[in-house]
Structure 1
Amino acid sequence: MASDTKEVATDLVPVLRVYKDGTVERLFGSTHVPPSPEDPTTGVSSKDPTISPLISARLYLPNLPKTTTTTTTQKLPILVYFHGGGFCAGSTFSFLSHRYMNLIASESKALIVAVEYRLAPEHPLPAAYEDCWDATQWVASHAVDGNDDGGDKELWLINHGDFERIFIGGDSAGGNIVHNIAMRAGVESFHGDLKILGAFISCPYFWGSKPMGSEPTESREQMLLYRLWMCAYPSAPSGIDNPMINPFAGDAPSLSGLGCSKVLVCVAEKDHLRDRGVHYVEAVKEGSGWKGEVELVEVEGEDHCFHIITPDTESAKNLINRLASFIAQ
């Protein structure tokens, strides 16, 4: 905890404070928890491999039905997941994320790779984007012939991963990362030329200088959503209208370039980010010429990422089930 006597350089309550001596105090998130050989609620197993010196992850393997033969190994869809936190906070090792991933893995019967990417402001964007791309490349590398000789390969992926069913997903800033990974996948290849089948984008953190829908029109530069982006990516070309945060900016690449076959976008009625999530679906569906399938799910009466914070409510259970069924299809 930073000392009260330190001078604050940037105050982004309730997410973080940055002090003039370089100290970063993160105010958002939950305590870290260890992986579990078998989660007592869901039966999901988890462990923490190292992807690279900069990137780690938590893997989740659902409780699979026992078979009568030892020669058959069930192949599961693979979800590469990116957590939220405004690019500056949050962790895949947190209690909230761990509980959420256990639920998704259990409901979808998917093998999940939840990525622990570097956080701003110590590691400004595009570091998180690069980490998440590299992590997805790491997953794809397990399907390439001749690379099953051990080494840094993860046996859960080799034994259980169905590389014809790779999904990416994320909430809030993680949803933003999903969009940017999907756009990059439209112009760059993964190992073995593997393809992303689907992407879910939940409560996505998109923003811009011009208000959209019911967004406030005044003092936009003082809003947390604006200031958080500028803290995470101070050198961003075009600032808050950089295409990575504003996919509707004039110089943003066409959404026809999304490198996946289907997209599910989830928004919450009371979320300040709701209108841009809805517009994203409209832009993909009506104006881009993209050939995939896009669907919008809106949850009434709920706020930002409610399903992660309070997963036991009926609305949260319904949304988690919808996300799981999207992956399991």
Structure 2
Amino acid sequence: MNMASNVKEVATEILNFIRVYKDGSVDRLAGSPIVPPSASDPETGVSSKDIIVSQNPPISARIYLPKHLLDQCQHPKIPILVYFHGGGFCLESAFSFDETKLMNSLASSANAVVISIEYRLAPQHPLPIAYEDCWAALQWIVSHSNADCDSDKEPWISTYVDFGRVYIGGDSAGANLAHNILMRAGSEGLQNGVKIKGAFLTHPYFWGTKPIGAETRDVERREKLITYTVWQLVYPDAPGGVDNPMLNPVVPGAPSLAGLGCSRLLVSVAEKDLMRERGIMYYNAVKESGWKGEVELVDVDGEDHSFHILVHHSHNAKKHINRLASFIV
């Protein structure tokens, strides 16, 4: 038997990240393991469960609620955070260990309902599918603001959420998703007239062909950077390539950032992050756009991309998670 005939041919490979074969199958080489929800998280006391957002398209989510609220006879209304996980649009999950750890911490520290969206991943589901999934999920969530309850509604949302305090957030690709959701919310609006009060973008995945700051000027080197190769993989048909406004929101001709659909914005960057200067440029562009909201920048020294997730027990990670939680009021 010829063993070589059983070896699959690689079509695309981004080392230590993802491998795509010519038969369409994918090996995801990074990301944390899937874990179940918990009736009471041992560290935070937060309850979580998995829910179906939509059957067609298939969108699910993990929702979190501080357990002490379930034990009360009265039901206070609290903020909701709709979260989009990172992973370059092709890795990670709302059901993974790292994401569950972060969501439990945010729900506990912010005393908020938190819902992490399980959007479909590239390359099997190339962009803009993730954008559409996250938009559909957010619209489904805010539809609960209608007092006429029906069987499709999630009781943790309809019972506990103050729809005057809707927040969205994300890290890395999830922060990119959050930005694009804000732009769409600003132009199209949400169901029942619900407004997004605030959003945080942590280490946002933005890029472009024109180098800025300390980024390399070497074109060949730039095209081998993960910021470039991942976008080619997840959105091969993107008009403008890495200068598509969804990845480069400050490219000439991009929609004005004055159209962001929230009233408060928190942008976080980290000193050692490859995309740090992109985040700072985005923050400055928002400030200069004529946008009427309040924008703040947090720059953490000595840390790298997504440090608050990857090294979640460190002092800086806990401090940053508390900073994100304190933004939700």
- Give the shorter-chain TM-score range: over 0.9
CA distance in 2, matches of 1:216, 1:90: 28
Residue number in structure 1 paired with 2:66: 62
Q: Counterparts of 1:224 and 1:317 in 2: how far apart (Å)?
A: 27
C-alpha distance in structure 2 between counterparts of 1:232 and 1:46, whole Å: 30
Assess, with a 3 A threshold, how the Cα gap between structure 1 residues 66 and 170 changes in structure 2: closer, same or farther: closer
**Structure 2: gaps (5+ residues):** none
Q: Is residue 69–residue 75 contact of structure 2 (8 Å, CA) maintained in 1? A: no
Percent identical: 58
Q: CA deviation at 1:145?
A: 3.1
Query: How many matched pairs?
Result: 321
1:291 aligns with 2:295: no
- Whether 2:45 is the aligned partner of 1:43: answer yes
Question: Distance in 1 between the 2:126 and 2:316 partners?
Answer: 35
3-state SS of the aligned residue for 2:54? coil
1:66 Cα offset (Å): 8.2
Secondary structure of 1:186's aligned partner: helix
Q: Could you tell me how far apart the structure 1 residues matched to 2:190 and 2:227 are?
A: 32
How far did 1:190 drift? 1.2
Q: Calculate the aligned-residue CA RMSD, in Å.
A: 1.4
Give the structure 2 partner of residue 183 of structure 1. 183
- Summarize the Cα distance change of 1:16–1:4 in structure 2 as closer, same or farther, 3 Å threshold: farther
TM-aligned CA distance change 1:257 to 1:66, over 3 Å: closer
| Other-structure match for 2:323 | 322
The change in CA–CA distance for 1:180 and 1:4 in structure 2 (over 3 A counts) is farther
Q: CA deviation at 1:4?
A: 8.6
CA separation in 1, counterparts of 2:309 and 2:95? 14
Counterpart amino acid of residue 300 in structure 1: D
Query: Quick check: 1:206–1:273 contact (8 Å CA) kept in 2?
Result: yes
Matches within 5 A, 1:29-178: 29-53=31-55, 54-64=58-68, 70=73, 72-146=74-148, 148-149=149-150, 151-178=151-178
Partner of 1:252: 254
Instruction: Please give the secondary structure, in 2, of the residue aligned with 1:320.
Output: helix
Structure 2 counterpart of 1:190, one-letter code: L
CA distance in 2, matches of 1:281, 1:237: 24
Q: Report the AA paired with residue 323 of structure 2.
A: R
Runs of 4+ in 1 over 3 A off after TM superposition: none
How many angstroms apart in 1 are the aligned matches of 2:6 and 2:64?
40
1:214 alignment counterpart: 214
Determine if contact 1:267/1:277 at 8 Å carries over to the other structure.
yes
User: How far apart are 1:65 and its partner, in Å?
Assistant: 5.9
TM-score (norm 2): 0.95
One-letter amino acid matched to 1:103: S
Segments of 5+ residues of structure 1 without an aligned counterpart are none
Who is 1:301 aligned against?
Answer: 302
Amino acid corresponding to residue 311 of structure 1 in structure 2: H
TM-score of the pair, normalised by structure 1: 0.95
